[in-house]
Structure 1
Amino acid sequence: MYLGIDLGTSGVKAMLIGDDQAVVGSASSKEVTTTRLHDGWSEQDPADWIRAMEEAIAGLRSAHPDAFSAVRGIGLSGHMHGATLLDADDKVLRPCIMWNDTRSYREAAALDADPRFRKITGNIVFPGFTAPKLAWVKNNEPDIFAKVRWVLLPKDYLRLWLAGEHLSEMSDSAGTSWLDTGARKWSSELLAATGLDESQMPGLVEGTAPAGTLRPELAAKWGLREGIVIAGGAGDNAASACGMGTVREGTAFVSLGTSGVLFAANARYLPNPESAVHAFCHALPDTWHQMGVILSATDALNWHARVTGASAADLTKELGDTLKTPSHVTFLPYLSGERTPHNDATIRGAFLGLGHEADRTVLTQAVLEGVAFAIRDSLEALKSAGTALTRVTAIGGGSRSRYWLKSIATALGLPVDLPADGDFGAAFGAARLGLIAATGANPTDILTPPATAETIHPEAALSAAYEDAYQRYRRLYPAIRAAY
């Protein structure tokens, strides 16, 4: 058996798979609290991650005691970019500054103005990345900065607790703005530019490689044998790609989670920071990926649900399954700023074109279309970065809405594949990486795609209307930008 642990923004999911990669069971923790002390801030207490992980593992052990006792490898996944700061005794110095925290936008702009960052990392220095967060701490919390002995990414804090090792891997570390992404190593030059050095960074391995073993006391507590290998693992999007088998050139997925991601695997390093596309290492050796990232996907629908007092499921159900012509109401989903293609931490969302006829159903339709058009922005950015897609696979909670998938297929002009029943997300991908690290299996033999249950094609009769609506959507960002 192999255990995958995924640290999500809202909680931890643990999953067991067998040698045949069949899912034996999974369990999730209660929600982890996010604190927002000021506009643009987002923080979590790393101690809550440990409690959530123990809760998810306890649920899995209780439901599947025999299978759990047979665990031979563990893989880790987690939300990226978070600044988890430890002192010399491995004590947490402050709450983790999360991926969707944008307070360091000034520091990000200052680092991005240094041409070395884009040249070495292949990426814009986005406010959500780790390096500008450390620059913010240095500028605003100098006493804490002076005590920083280790900078860990969130999933690697779990590894420290599980294995006692300060280690990370390439896919997650590529989102820090300190990694030489082409060479797959830390850049001492970029670390020095933020007042740090390589001794404060975890060691690096590939995501498929062993990266520590489970501490004997935890093995005894959980009824496991000693020496269980923990894989390098992956950042959440690369782990989802491993779960979906999106590891070969030309394969891609669209993820409708809290954020939205259009992810494409690459056999070579293809940086193009001017497009605001992320060019990161993949979890496999000698493999990279590109992705466009929007900060509010299901988060936008959930916001709309809170405001209207209806559930997200009820809102999408009101639309039915038949795709409608876009209305004159346009929604810009910039509730937390935006990454691709704007790299704008201070922009905020808007409804435009409201009239008396704009009831709740019209607004829901506009929200789904706005996210679809934001993903189309990412598609256009990927094209400019040299990646042409012919189809995508849909994953994430938002993919349960057929209406939304039809809207996305029509906005992108691409067929959208739905995988056969099963959970192929980040926890599954992490478990696969645990299997590879523990057994030495060939990654490409393990990381295969699931069968396709159904394909949703663009609706040709609405393609022109969607194109007109998308062009209107594109014109609105510069129009509202002037107001900020």
Structure 2
Amino acid sequence: MRSSTPSNPAGRTGAAPVLGIDLGTSGVKALLLDGERVLGTAHAPLSVSRPHPGWSEQEPEDWWAATCACLDALVAEHPTALRAVRAIGLAGHMHGATLVDADGEVLRPCILWDDGRSAPQCALLEAAVPALRAITGNAAMPGFTAPKLLWIRQHEPDLFARMHRVLLPKAWLRWRLCGEAIEDMSDASGTLWLDVARRRWSGELLAACGLDESRMPRLVEGTMPAGELRAPWVKRWGFERTPIVAGGAGDNAAGAVALGAVNPGDAFLSLGTSGVLWATTAHHAPAPERGVHAFCHAVPQTWHQMGVLLSAAASLSWWAACTGRDEQSLLAELPAQADGPAPCWFLPYLSGERTPHNDASVRGAFLHLSAGTTRPQMTQAVLEGVAHAFRDARDALAGAGTHIAIADLIGGGARSSLWCDLLASMLDISLRRIDDASHGPALGAARLAQVALTGRSDFPRPHATRVFEPRPALVRRYDEAHAGWSQLYSLVRRAPGPLPVFNASDSVP
């Protein structure tokens, strides 16, 4: 666990400090906010268990321990400000299935958003409810929560029978903090149990999974009060008054709030571990046949569309691990700007893909290698492969009627100016690299807490340090390259299964 205090925070002071807590896959982050002034942050890491290929799980008790560590750190460094906190906002990674029994005990590790085991159950669910896509605005994908419950019902029937309630990760954390089962609209949109246009649970979809509304948390808007901190925690951290807890948001919606992307037409590109191309919309605008996610936003009567990549900056991390080098040294081998496509291809489907393919089983690949292929060329191909996948997402959103001309750019991968530059030309849009997007969903959660506390709903836009514009000559070259790259999915989507493993003593015919 580590904490930090900004060296030169600026901004007005609000009526009372608020706290944002982001339950991320790799760690919990807590952020203390006073008006527009970030007073301090704390972070505690988390690990992911992968007991079988394609599986991804976490222990909810680890989430709680990390949350406690973060608040302990903040109260140690900022005791006066933390004790004055009047509201807490929550953000969290989406889609996870957390099963609890009637006593509130967790029945099994949470199955996470990038777990691919429930692909067969997706087909079963769509067959059982032909109107699923019309109700949810989304195709059934293994990442969503409902197929996970079908997998548990089939493979772990004893646990399914003992289940009293199923909660998303953020809702489980709220339950520990408040003792109430409550969820916001944006996070609930990723379950495949929400009627997204009407912003309410769908009885038909719940019944298809052997559930009803009694097993689900109460729904609220992300800007609404949604519980109060329980007395033991008020005492533990010394709050002067019992803080309210805001509805909060799923991680991407919370990130959008942090960016002020709450009005129709606002857009951002997140170049994080996974990748997101986001567009805020005034209405529910589904395009499930294109692999577009159409969810509720965390602010009332607002929705959004997303194109989602499962491996964005994670692709560069994987390549760095393969080469035995760190990411920065790999990037240092490349020029400041690309003057054309790399001579080889990379497909970033290391964990399957969502937009536009909705294919949990497809895997990544390098193609068109030669004896003269160099490591820097392969590194550039990795950057371009992710950019090509974002272009697929851009085209999917355009097919759904959303055309993006400018977008904010956030995420760890955005630190590479080369990557930002080639993304702008690959997508043919202007990209605003944000001044300080490191606070992300934790800041968005804190801003939602401010709204729940004060009723004010102003969401400031952050400053951009640099704008990357498309370069016409490179746009043309990437247009031509993408026409070829987009055909490569068909080569790998039906690739054979794992290669046979030979012992050293085996004879090879």
- Aligned residue number for residue 102 of structure 1: 116
1:15 aligns with 2:31: yes
- Aligned residue number for residue 478 of structure 1: 490
**Residue 433 of structure 1: which of 411, 428, 448 is its match?**
448
- Aligned residue number for residue 194 of structure 1: 209
- Aligned residue number for residue 308 of structure 2: 293
SS at match of 1:291: strand
1:249 aligns with 2:261: no
Letter of the 2:242 counterpart: G
Q: 1:164 Cα shift?
A: 0.7
In structure 2, distance between residues paired with 1:263 and 1:335: 22
| 139-148 or 322-331, which deviates more | 322-331
Contact 2:84 2:241 in 1 (8 A): no
In structure 2, distance between residues paired with 1:154 and 1:391: 32
**Residue 97 of structure 2: which of 74, 77, 83 is its match?**
83
SS at match of 1:25: strand
- Aligned residue number for residue 149 of structure 1: 164
Q: 1:353 Cα shift?
A: 0.6
In structure 2, distance between residues paired with 1:13 and 1:314: 28
Unpaired runs of 5+ residues, structure 1, are: none
How many correspondences in the alignment? 479
1:49 aligns with 2:63: yes
In structure 2, distance between residues paired with 1:56 and 1:469: 46
SS at match of 1:175: helix
What pairs with 1:282-431 in structure 2 (closer than 5 Å)?
282-421=297-436, 423-431=438-446
Contact 1:76 1:232 in 2 (8 A): yes
Q: Which whole-Å deviations, capped at 9, do the CAs of 1:256-303 have from their partners, x for residues lacking one?
A: 111100000001111111111000000011000000001001111111
Q: Which whole-Å deviations, capped at 9, do the CAs of 1:380-436 have from their partners, x for residues lacking one?
A: 000011111111110111111111111111110001001224545100000000111
Letter of the 2:371 counterpart: H
Q: Which whole-Å deviations, capped at 9, do the CAs of 1:343-377 have from their partners, x for residues lacking one?
A: 00100000001112222111111111001111111
Q: 1:237 Cα shift?
A: 0.2
SS at match of 2:488: helix
1:215 aligns with 2:230: yes
Unpaired runs of 5+ residues, structure 2, are: 1-16, 497-509
Letter of the 1:410 counterpart: S
In structure 2, distance between residues paired with 1:323 and 1:75: 41
- Aligned residue number for residue 167 of structure 1: 182
Q: 1:174 Cα shift?
A: 0.2
Contact 2:424 2:469 in 1 (8 A): yes
| 451-460 or 258-267, which deviates more | 451-460
Q: 1:225 Cα shift?
A: 2.4
Q: 1:75 Cα shift?
A: 0.3
In structure 2, distance between residues paired with 1:73 and 1:318: 47
**Residue 280 of structure 1: which of 285, 295, 306 is its match?**
295
Contact 1:302 1:312 in 2 (8 A): yes
- Aligned residue number for residue 4 of structure 1: 20
In structure 2, distance between residues paired with 1:397 and 1:357: 31
In structure 2, distance between residues paired with 1:317 and 1:79: 32
In structure 2, distance between residues paired with 1:194 and 1:381: 29
Percent identical among aligned pairs is 52
In structure 1, distance between residues paired with 2:270 and 2:332: 20
1:132 aligns with 2:144: no
In structure 2, distance between residues paired with 1:472 and 1:179: 38
In structure 1, distance between residues paired with 2:284 and 2:253: 15
Q: 1:22 Cα shift?
A: 1.6
Report the structure number with the largest CA radius of gyration.
Answer: 2
| 382-391 or 112-121, which deviates more | 112-121
TM-score, normalised relative to structure 2: 0.93
Q: 1:239 Cα shift?
A: 0.2
Q: Which whole-Å deviations, capped at 9, do the CAs of 1:25-50 have from their partners, x for residues lacking one?
A: 11110x21211111110000001101
Contact 2:411 2:438 in 1 (8 A): no
Letter of the 1:384 counterpart: G
- Aligned residue number for residue 7 of structure 2: none
Q: 1:76 Cα shift?
A: 0.3
In structure 2, distance between residues paired with 1:471 and 1:449: 36
**Residue 465 of structure 1: which of 462, 466, 477 is its match?**
477
Contact 2:410 2:437 in 1 (8 A): no
SS at match of 1:475: coil
Q: 1:93 Cα shift?
A: 0.3
Q: 1:317 Cα shift?
A: 2.1
**Residue 205 of structure 1: which of 208, 220, 235 is its match?**
220
- Aligned residue number for residue 40 of structure 1: 54
What pairs with 1:62-81 in structure 2 (closer than 5 Å)?
62-81=76-95
1:451 aligns with 2:451: no
